[in-house]
Structure 1
Amino acid sequence: MSRRIVLSAVAGAAVLAGAGAFALAYAGDGAPALAHSTARYAAPQGARDGSFRFSTEVTAPSGLKSLKVLAWPEKSELATKQPTAKEMSRAESARCESTGGADGTRCAYTVAVTAADAASFPRGSWHVAVLATDEDGATTLDTEAVDFTVG
C-alpha cells in the first residue's frame, strides 16, 4: 500500500472522529427526550373510583420546565387530526422530580376515574400525547407516547 493512501486514510479517520465528537457534543443541546413511558388504566369497581396513571423519564440538558399529558381515544377526531403543541400547552401537567442525574427527570400524571367518567369513555385503544418543554423553550411533542386499553 502506498504511503499516500495510508496518510489519506489516517487523515480521513481523524476528520470523521472530529465530526463524531462534535455531533455528540451538539446532541447534548437538543430538545427534551422521552423514555420508558407507561400508562395504566384501572376501571372503577363498586363504590371505588378507578384511576389513570402515566409515567415517563425525560432527559432535558437545560432542565425540564413542564410536561403536559393528554389521553385520547383512538376512535375520535384526534385520530385524523392529532393534537398540536399549541393545543397540548393547555393540557394538564404531570408532576416531575429529578432522578438525581445531571439532566434526568421522572414525571407522573395520575387522575381518578369515577363510574360516570368510565361510562362515558369509548371502549378500545387509547393513546397518550405528551408535550415536554425544557428551560430553554425547546419542545418535544409525542402524540402517541404510549397506548392503553379501556375495556
Structure 2
Amino acid sequence: MFKRVLIGSFAGAVLVGGVAAGFAAASAPEKLSLKDGSAHYTAPSGNRAGAFTFTTDVSDDSGVENLNVLVWPTASKLNPTEAELREVDTATCRSTSDETSRCTCTLKVTEKEAAALDPGAWQVSALATAKDGDTLFVSSAATFDIKR
C-alpha cells in the first residue's frame, strides 16, 4: 500500500510540476526583438530625391516605444554604440498587434548628398526601446549596397 501512495504522490507531483512549468513558460515575458529587417537605397533621379529605407518588425510583451536607426558605410569601421544610437534618427512605428510594431525609417537623399556617399557595403544599426524601458541594441540590423 505504501508503494502505491508513494508512486501516486510522485506521479501527481510530476504532473503538477509539469503543468506549473508549462504555465510559467506560457506567461513568461517575451524579450524585445527585431525580425525581418530590410534596407534599401534608391539614388536620386532627375527632380526626384533619393531615399534610404529600413523596415523591421519590433516585438516586446509590453509594446514598442521607439526604434532609433543609424546608417553607416562598412568601410568606415564606425562601430557605433548603444549610447550613440540614442541621438540618431527615429523610425515611425505602427502597431500590428499588442506586442509588435512595424517600424520604418526613411531618409531623403539629395543629389549633392548622394554624390558624397561612399559606394559599397553599408550597415544599419538599430536601438529598440520597449514601453517597459527595456532596450535592444543591434549593431548590424541590416546591410545594403550603394552602387555608382
TM-score by shorter chain over 0.5 = yes
Q: Which residue of 2 aligns with 1:111?
A: 107
TM-score, normalization by structure 1: 0.81
Deviation digits for residues 21-58 of structure 1 (CA, Å, limit 9, x no counterpart): 42342233x3x211111111001123321111111111
Structure 2: gaps of 5 or more residues = none
| Residue 92, structure 1, aligned to residue 89, structure 2 | yes
Deviation digits for residues 73-121 of structure 1 (CA, Å, limit 9, x no counterpart): 110131xxx211111000110111111x221111111111111111111
Q: Which residue of 1 aligns with 2:142?
A: 146
Q: Which residue of 1 aligns with 2:54?
A: 54
Q: Which residue of 2 aligns with 1:42?
A: 42
Across the aligned residues of Structure 1 and Structure 2, the Cα RMSD in angstroms comes to 2.3
Query: 2-side partners of 1:111 and 1:129: how far apart?
Result: 14
Change (3 A) 1:26 1:48: same
Query: 2-side partners of 1:74 and 1:146: how far apart?
Result: 11
Q: Which residue of 1 aligns with 2:28?
A: 26
Moved over 6 A (4+): 7-10
TM-score, normalization by structure 2: 0.83
Q: Which has the larger radius of gyration?
A: 2
Helix, strand or coil for the counterpart of 2:114? helix
| Residue 134, structure 1, aligned to residue 130, structure 2 | yes
Query: 2-side partners of 1:69 and 1:56: how far apart?
Result: 11
Query: 2-side partners of 1:24 and 1:9: how far apart?
Result: 22
- Deviation (angstroms), 1:126: 0.7
Query: 2-side partners of 1:61 and 1:90: how far apart?
Result: 25
